Amino acid sequence: MVFAAVVRHMVLLATVGLVAATDSGASASTPQDSEPAPTPVTARNHPESNRTTAEELLRELQRRRPVNTVIPPSGARDRASVSSEPKLWPEGWTVLDHPGRLERVGAWWVFHFQDNKAGGSLKILPNASLEVMAHIQADSENADSFTVSGEMTVFGGENYLLVRTARRRTAASPSPAVTEAESSTAPEAPIAADASVEDVLAVMEAQQPVDALLAAEGLMPSHDDAKKGYAARASRIDGSPIVSRLGRVVPQGDWWAFRFESTHGDAPDQPIKLLPSKNTERMVQARERENVGLVFVVSGEVTAFEGENFLLPRLAVQRINLGNLRK
């Protein structure tokens, strides 16, 4: 029995091996529609078979390169249109000793610069310096030329000039106290090393600038009616400060004005006109966006012109509305 079982087991193993051999032969005899993938041995023996050529790499990089739109240069006509736009000087830009002439144009005094480097023609903001220049212009038969220094402001896409100092340009004339003989014997520069003190002073006096600084207090209206009107209308001196005052921006004729709010039951000041500037423009824009209950905290400089005060806001902050949280 044991021998018979062993024989049957051997026959079964032989049959299974014959079937496996038949299957492997059938797979080997299938037609080769494509070449088999290279084996690791083939890749090691022929590494150049899978290497990308330089031409293929270049074509691939060119295909992946981003397409940039080329902007052609602007023509002469476009450049001319851009350059014709008015150039604005920034707020606070300083004008130093620029000559020119003053002219009344409508409701504004306009200063025409001689060199056109400081803005061509600019409207002058009302202050004491402008009042002095205006009185000289009115009393003179000919158009006077001035040399002015000041600072720029910006409002509504336009520059304005606040004149700080003004000099009247006049022709040089010898002092009446000096005779012709004395003027002819006056020493000329350069000064000698052994020159006396008198010679040095004479040369320095001869080299004084022709321009004369205008004094505001000496050229104000002299008659009593003008003085009374000035004292009654202008409540603040030119150049006096205003610090952290509450108020609202309101229209007043062709101007924008700052209307003060009363504090601690005190009577509020009269509304004061705002000079054109960046801070004025920002407050006007904020008022147009939010007109209800808009209050500003303003600090600035007061100017005076022909008996009326104006305010140049240096700092303007919108007060936060606390609602019911306010005491």
| Structural contact between residues 306 and 131, judged by C-beta atoms closer than 8 angstroms | yes
Residue 289, token pair as written in the block = 């966006």
What percentage of the chain reaches a pLDDT higher than 70?
Answer: 53
Q: Residue 208: helix, strand or coil by DSSP?
A: coil
Identify the top-confidence range among 7-16, 200-209, 255-264. 255-264
Question: How would you label 174-203 residue by residue, b for 16+ Cβ within 10 Å and e otherwise?
Answer: eeeeeeeeeeeeeeeeeeeeeeeeeeeebb
DSSP symbol at 194: T
Contacting residues for 215 by C-beta, under 8 A, at least 6 apart: 132
Full-model pTM: 0.59
Q: Residue for token digits 């005491």?
A: 327
| Structural contact between residues 238 and 302, judged by C-beta atoms closer than 8 angstroms | yes
Give the domains, in start order, of the chain with CATH numbers.
94-169 (2.40.50), 180-206 (no CATH), 233-325 (2.40.50.140)
| Structural contact between residues 305 and 131, judged by C-beta atoms closer than 8 angstroms | yes
pLDDT in tens, 192-244: 666 776 777 776 666 655 556 665 544 444 444 444 444 445 678 999 999 99
